[in-house]
Amino acid sequence: MPVRPGPEPQAVLGPLTSAAIFLTGTVETGGEQTARDLLADLAGLRRSVGFRAPEAALTCVAGIGAEIWDRLFTGPRPARLHPFTAIDGVRRRAVATPGDLLFHIRAQRQDLCFELAAQIMRRLGDRVRIRDEVSGFRYFDERDLLGFVDGTENPAGQAAAAAVLVGDQDPPFAGGSYVVVQKYLHDMRAWNELSVADQERVIGRTKLSNIELPDDAKPANSHVALTTITGPDGEQRQILRDNMPFGSPGTGEFGTYFIGYAADPAVTEEMLANMFTGRPPGNYDRVLDYSVPVTGCLFFVPPAGFLDDLPAAPAAGTAGSRPDGTLGIGDLRGGVR
């Protein structure tokens, strides 16, 4: 669907950067006003930090989860906002983990990302519990730690805006976007035991030249085959990925942080269903033989003007509280064994 000029989006359409930090947190009971204050001031914080090195193009995208929305705002909800749904797959489970707020911080310099993350945390204090924090980095020519170029099929220009930004289908939230995040850990020992040709058949692309394998050579259970989807009109349905490698060689942690923006979360969800349950069922994505997802969240990214002028807060005692006792991911450490 073409996107008409409308509300200014957050910086979801920015180019890939050399550094990023991903913060996912849950708002403690009583911390709602702290979260609102931070969201309203986020653009100013970003400007203050980024002013030190404007050439580094510091940005920060804020996403808001389904379970916190009615605790923060009155008025309508984004039409397709819902909690991330776990997928019980053939080889792996796409887990659903807690997440009320997402901060996707990126720049050409890691120090700026670090400083903005520190300023955000100073403002949130103990009112928001951080469930996951990942520092990503550019790896050679936009490759992941499996050695393949990531994000090759990202749309650009007007095609990117059409794929990513909400339009007339939900007018109160035009200019917004939905984002799914997953943290994958890789079994690098098992992966590196494969020949390059076998790795290429898992991914569906050549490793060195980054050329998609021809249809007669590309396995139906390759990553490329299963994440390419079409709509009823036969046109390819796309998302915008801004994935980043991360890791700690000393602890054996090697991973990819998947982050996919879309105007309709169903597009990303269909890709994940193909990966985990298979298309047809049972024909799952072979990359899951070597990669395990340990987080999974869905957020709505409102347009910039929404954060500049937040809807009124719910009256005291009217907003539902978030159930406690859910398992965090603070203890998920190390690589896949």
Count of beta carbons in the 10 Å neighbourhood of residue 243: 20
Torsion angle, alpha carbons of 264, 234, 8, 79, to 10: -30
| 295 backbone φψ class: left, alpha, beta (φ>0; ψ -120 to 50) | beta
Please say whether the beta carbons of 178 and 264 come within 8 A: yes
d(CA 149, CA 181): 19
- Residues 6 or more apart whose CB falls under 8 angstroms from that of 97 comprise 24, 84, 131, 132, 294, 295, 296, 297, 327, 328, 329
| Residue 150 designated active-site | yes
Q: What is the dihedral of CA 201, 207, 209, 213, to 10 degrees?
A: 10
Cα angle 68, 80, 258 (rounded to 5 degrees) comes to 75
Give the span between the Cα atoms of 34 and 38, in whole angstroms: 6
Record the tokens describing residue 221, joined without a space.
């259970």
Both tokens of residue 187? Answer: 């079994």
Among candidate residues 150, 170, 264, 285, the one labeled active-site is 150
Residues recognised as catalytic: 150
